[in-house]
């Protein structure tokens, strides 16, 4: 309770008198605004997908990840082998130059063996 600006009459801050009508009331704000974006989005409960569906945290995620990794490594290995068997060089690389494919290219291995034979014969 306080005193009114017009005289010394007591007034209630929550009264509806035109002299002291509150501009904002926090209780009215709480009731008029709902924060948080509403409820959870409806979705099918039984959804299968490689990632596990909506909001999924499957118990066997480690095993699934391991299987996916092994499959991807197998695909890379087969592709690597296919590519290395068919790799062809248009010309011999410079002597002493290092190329990563010297370790797996049949043609470069053959040329390196020939170069070693020629260097031992010339000595």
Q: Model pTM greater than 0.85?
A: no
Give tens-digit pLDDT for 25-41.
555 555 555 666 777 77
- 45 lies in some domain: no
Domain total of the chain: 2
- 17 lies in some domain: no
- 2 lies in some domain: no
- 11 lies in some domain: no
Tell me which residue range forms the domain holding 107: 89-123
Run of H or E residues at 32: helix 26-32
Do both 69 and 99 map to the same domain?
no
- 73 lies in some domain: yes
Does residue 80 carry a pLDDT above 90? Answer: yes
Distance of alpha carbon 10 from alpha carbon 2, whole angstroms: 6
Do both 83 and 94 map to the same domain?
no
């Amino acid at each position: 309770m306080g005193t009114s600006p017009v005289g010394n009459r007591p007034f209630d801050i929550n009264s509806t008198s035109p002299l002291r009508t509150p501009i904002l009331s926090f209780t009215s704000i709480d009731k008029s605004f709902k924060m948080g974006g509403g409820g959870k989005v409806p979705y099918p409960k039984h959804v299968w997908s490689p990632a596990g569906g909506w909001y999924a945290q499957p118990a066997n995620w480690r095993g699934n990840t391991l299987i996916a990794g092994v499959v991807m490594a197998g695909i890379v290995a087969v592709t690597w082998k296919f590519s290395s068997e068919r790799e062809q060089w248009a010309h011999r690389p410079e002597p002493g130059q290092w190329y990563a494919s010297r370790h797996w290219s049949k043609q470069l291995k053959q040329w390196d063996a020939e170069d070693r034979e020629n260097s031992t014969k010339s000595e």
